[in-house]
Amino acid sequence: MTNFYPEELIEEVRTRNDIVDVVSGYVLLKKTGTSYKGKCPFHIEKTPSFSVSPEKQLYHCFGCGAGGNVISFIMNIENLGFIDALKLLADRAGIILPDRNTDLSYENLQYKKKQIQYCIHKDAAKYFYNNLKNNESVLRYLNSR
């Protein structure tokens, strides 16, 4: 068993949380060109030196040097560890994180996904077979073709 979330899942949480939307919940941002500016929440300042890039999905403060992605922003602003910040953002995006004590390897997740798809297809085939078998008019039509 692994005790970490796969990179694919972390990336999904990151991409489903737009950095401008998240940061604007904590900082008053003003659009300037292609980025957004505001006063840095990590130090006291009079003029805005905090920049958020929607294109790069990164933030950077030119005053104190703080910077990173949406996960590191939540870690810093909420004083959380990586896992708790990831959980907060996953919840915000409607993503259910699996229990960390289960096997979360990419191969295992893909295998489980294929198992579920197989069961769905098997049930669908059984349903259509039974409906076809019990409908004489449809069977006559198919046999005539």
pLDDT, mean over the chain: 89
Q: Are 55 and 34 spatial neighbours (Cβ–Cβ below 8 Å)?
A: yes
E-state strands within the chain: 30-32, 35-38, 50-53, 58-61, 67-68
pLDDT tens digits, residue range 74-88?
999 999 999 999 999
Q: Which fold has domain 7-99?
A: DNA Primase; Chain A (3.90.580)
Helix and strand tally (H, E) in the chain? 6, 5
Domain ranges of the chain: 7-99, 105-145
Alpha-carbon distance values, 45 to 40, 62, 66 (Å): 7, 11, 13
Q: Name the residue among 63, 65, 59 with its Cα closest to residue 48.
A: 63
- Is residue 100 very low, low, confident or very high in pLDDT (cuts 50, 70, 90)? low
Indicate the pTM of the whole model. 0.67
**CA dihedral in degrees (59, 37, 15, 69; nearest 10)?**
10
pLDDT tens digits, residue range 20-65?
999 999 999 999 999 999 999 999 999 999 999 999 999 999 999 9
